[in-house]
Each structure stands twice: as C-alpha cells, then as structure tokens.
Structure 1
Amino acid sequence: MRDWIGRRPELGLYDRLMVELRNEDPRAFQNFMRMPPAMFDEIVQRLTPALSKETTNWRAPLDPGLKVALSLRHHASGAKYREMQFGWKVPHNTISLVLRVVCAAIVDEFRHGLLAPPQTAAEWRQISDNWMNSWNFPHVIGAIDSKHIACKSPANVRSDYFNFKGFFSVILLAVVTSDYKFLWIDVSGKGSSSDVHIYNASDLREGLQNNDIIGFPQLYLTFWWEMMLSHSGPT
C-alpha cells in the first residue's frame, strides 16, 4: 500500500472532513452528501450487514460508512474515480468495485419499500390530490422525464448508445410524485433512443393500455387514452 493511502484515517475526507461537517455545520454536510446526517446514518446502518467484511492478515476492510460515502459523493458530484482517490485516499480501482457493491446493496435493501406502487384506487387518488394541493395540477398521477447516464462505449453497438449530447449513455426514464419520490423507473433505454420510443416499449405503457395496473382509477385511464389519441407520444 502506498504511504499516502495508509494515512486515510488521519487525512481522508471520510475521517476528517465529514466528521468536521457533522459536528460543526450539518447544512454543509447535507450539501456534501445530498442528505442530512441522520439519513446518512440510517442508510449506513441498514447497509452495514451487506457491506461488512472480515479483517484479514493482509489488510483491514473499508468501513461500511466510507463505502456509502464514496458512492453517494460520486453520484452527487460525477467526479471520476482517479480524481476521488486522492481526497478519499482509496485507490481508484477499489472505488470502482465499491460503487458496484454499494449500488447492489441499496437496491436489495430499499427497493421494496421505496418503489412500492399504490395498490388501491384511494392511494392513486391521494397521489393525484397531492399534485393538486402542491402544484395546482388536476388529474395528475406523476411527472415523467428522462436522464442520460454516461457509460463506456459498449462493444459493437457504439451508435446505439451515442446520444445527441455527444457522449455514450443509458437512459433513465422515470415517473415521480409531487414530492419528488420515484413512482416508476426504466433504465433499459439506449442513449440514441427518444423518450417516446422508450415509453412506448415500457411495461408502464403496456400496463396502462391493458388496464393491468392494480387499483389505477378508471378516470385517469380515460384521460390517458384521450392523450394517446390526440398526440403522437406522451406529453
């Protein structure tokens, strides 16, 4: 191990800066991690069983909190692994492995609770009422939009993933509620695809068309059909 990496407990961002922010400036901590200290601690606590490793004769494992902090900061800032390694004092190749493990652990731990769709008409109507109360939008279930997630160029299909912004990407298409919570997501889109193309190939459109979404009010299904008949794609 390089000497500067070995000084992680004394000089690394996780053991120094984040401790200072937590104790002295919680708002700065929230800006750095994109969440308050209490939420960060809850995530670390819930992911610790999946992220913990045994200490060996070769080296001590990374702290689960450090793994979570690395992952959150990368997603918040978009910084490259080779840039992050100096401040966090974690080798770039280790960071690349940590992020994969943390993302998988987050999905396993939180998906059933955070991506649980409404099951009754009353729950769907409550989502619609929240849109009306918060934004004065009637008869709305969710806002839909897409985000390009940069990726390495896949072999043999470069043009499929090259987007109009000039880089390779996969597309996250999502529906959110009035308070910015994800209601539905699709991450199968190739960078060159349009929002309409991804939506038309999604299980969301199929569920609406076949009336297979549990508890979905007939009133909103009628609005959806009227929209589809009057537009070439979703608005």
Structure 2
Amino acid sequence: MSSSRTRKRKLAAIVLGIQCLEAMEDGEPHSKCRRIWISDFIRKRDTDGFHVKLITELSSGDPNKFREFLRMNADNYEELLKLVSSRISKMDTSFRKSISATQRLAVILRFLATGESFRSLAFRIPQCTISSIVLECLDAIYNALAPLYLKMPSNESEWKSIAEKFNDRWHFPNCLGAMDGKHIIMVAPPNSGSVYYNYKGTHSIVLLAIADAEYRFIYVDVGCNGRVSHGGVYNKCSFANAMEKNKLHIPQPVPLPQRTTPVPYVLVADDAFALRPNIMKPYSGRGLTSAQRVFNFRLSHTRRIIIIIIVTEG
C-alpha cells in the first residue's frame, strides 16, 4: 500500500510540473507557479519608499512635521536607530535585499504614534511583513531601552537618593515613588466577553507605573485586563510580590525631618490603592482637619508626577 501511494504522489507531482511548464509557455502561468520572487513595485522601496523619502525630506526640511509624523525629533530618531539597528537589521540574500533598519524603525514608530492598521502602513512593504516587523521591533526597542531608561533601584543608597529628591523638589519626605494606573482602550479580543470591560464602559488593558522625582519610570506593568482595578493590578504585579518578600532593598524606617519617631518609606498613590505600610494615599471623606488637608495637598502635589507622565505618554 505504501509503495503504491508513493508512486501516485510522484506521478501527481510530475503532472503538476508539466502543467506549470505548459501554462508558462502559453503566457498564462498556473496559480501555484510563482513567476517572480518580488514585484517591481516593492523592489523600489529603497529608493521610492514612502517612509524613506518622507523621513529624509522632513528631517532636513521641516523638523516640526517630522515630530508630528513620528512623535519624536530627528536627533532622538537617529539615536534610537543606533541603539536598535543591530537588533532589527536583516541580512541580504542573493534573491532580494532586506528591508533596511531605517524603514523598519519608521514603520513601528508610525504605528505607535497613530495606531494605524497594518494595511494603511503597507506602502511598498507587504502587510504580512509589517505584522512581523512590529512584533520584532517592539521587542528590540524594549530590550535596548529598558536597561538605560527603566532601571529599578538595586540597593538602599539608590532608594535614599530618590527619597532625597522627592523631599527637595516636592517637599514630601520618605517617598520612594509616585504610583498610578491608566486604562489603554483597545478592541476586545474575540470571545473575551466582559474580561476587558472596565468601569468607564470601554474595553482596555491596564498600565501600572511608578515614577521617581524626576518624572522617570522605575517600574511598569502593562497587560492586565481592564476589568481589574488599579489596586488589584498592583496586588498581582511583581513589584508588590518583591516588596512583600523584602527583595527590593527598601531602607529601614527613619524619622521625618525634625521628628524622632521612625516612619517607613512609602509610595504615594490615590484612593484606588489600599493603604499599606509602604503605600500612602490621601485622607478621604469630609470634615478634614487643617493638618489633614495640608497632608492631602502635599501628597497630591507629589503624586501629579505620575499623572502628568501617563496622560502625556498615554
């Protein structure tokens, strides 16, 4: 039985090959026979590509339009290109030239800046190729920038340095960071039901972030379904787990300025988070005392760091 099946398969392959050859001779190639490896229209992307020409013209002629197009200036673009070029570049083959790192980065930045569909971005770059470029470039950008711009303090001295800046700039002592969350609106995945449905009436995933006194992220957690509250996201994140197990090297409690009672170092947050030894939120309710109102003002004044960052970047 096996030998007869093998003969039939070989015979079918021979017949198909003959049909393809006959069709090519007649000028009507078979649908399964590929005439060219890459079309002439796509082949011109290195010289007449939309992203290449536009970026070149905008960077030299209109810096403001360049920033509007990619949400960053030309200098930052070139710096980012140097960091990720080796990670996103592909080798040329004898059949065709690869898509350059410049084009790959331009596509992903345009995608992040506008949220356009892959189809609308597919000019001289096939839509299926753009989908893979987006995934590869996102990983490359994160791996290149995270060690430089998303660095978690690793010892007590670094945490104390952050606390000193909070006290100097925002007049809130013993503060290690400002924490807040943001719902990122999205199209609900198929068959997801109400998993991503949030209290605002939209479908979303949650971005939880902690920033230092200089508006810099020190921790980010993104991807939790929007049905979960900000406090619930924090309870499940790796930062909370590490803090509970004393793996973050948080300094021991010290007295506040002009005081003698030791007070723990804290993160400032809003009412969405539970009050804990290392999480401080404002007093709630009416009839607050003068001291409580002053405390709420100081805490809100400090916490607006993370609000400004999330609203601007989100």
Show the counterpart of 2:180.
Answer: 145
> What corresponds to 1:48 in structure 2?
85
Partner amino acid, structure 1, of 2:71: R
CA positional deviation for 1:193: 0.9
Alignment partner of 1:221 is 2:264:
yes
Q: Does 1:61 align with 2:61?
A: no
- Given that 1:85 and 1:92 are in contact with CA atoms closer than 8 Å, whether structure 2 keeps it comes out as yes
1:29-66 Cα distance to aligned partner (Å, 9 max, x none): 33432333232222222222221212234432111121
RMSD of aligned Cα (Å): 3.1
The C-alpha deviation readout for 1:75-125, integer Å capped at 9, x for no partner, is 122222222224xx4233222110100011123333333332112333222
Deviation of 1:154 (Å):
3.9
Deviation of the 1:152 alpha carbon: 5.2
Hey, what does 1:24 align to over in structure 2?
61
Q: 1:55 to 1:135 in 2, by over 3 A?
A: same
Hey, what's the Cα distance between the residues in 2 that align with 1:166 and 1:92?
32
| Distance in 2 of aligned mates of 1:164 and 1:71 | 31
**What are the equivalent positions in structure 2 for 1:149-160 lying under 5 Å apart?**
149-151=184-186, 153-154=188-189, 156-160=191-195
CA–CA separation in structure 2 for the residues paired with 1:44 and 1:152: 30
Instruction: Name stretches of at least 5 consecutive residues in structure 1 with no aligned partner.
Output: none
Of 52, 55, 65 in structure 2, the residue corresponding to residue 15 of structure 1 is 52
The residue correspondences of 1:115-126 to structure 2 (distance < 5 A) are 115-126=150-161
| Equivalent residue in structure 2 for 1:207, among 224, 242, 251 | 242
- The CA distance in 1 between the partners of 2:57 and 2:179, in whole Å, is 38
After superposition, the C-alpha distances for 1:176-216 in whole angstroms (9 at most, x for unaligned) are 22333221111241121110111122222233334331244
Aligned to 1:101: 136
**Residue aligning to 2:287:** none
2: CA distance between counterparts of 1:54 and 1:85?
A: 21
TM-score by length of 2: 0.62
Which structure dedicates a bigger proportion of its chain to helix? 1
> Aligned residues: percent identity?
29
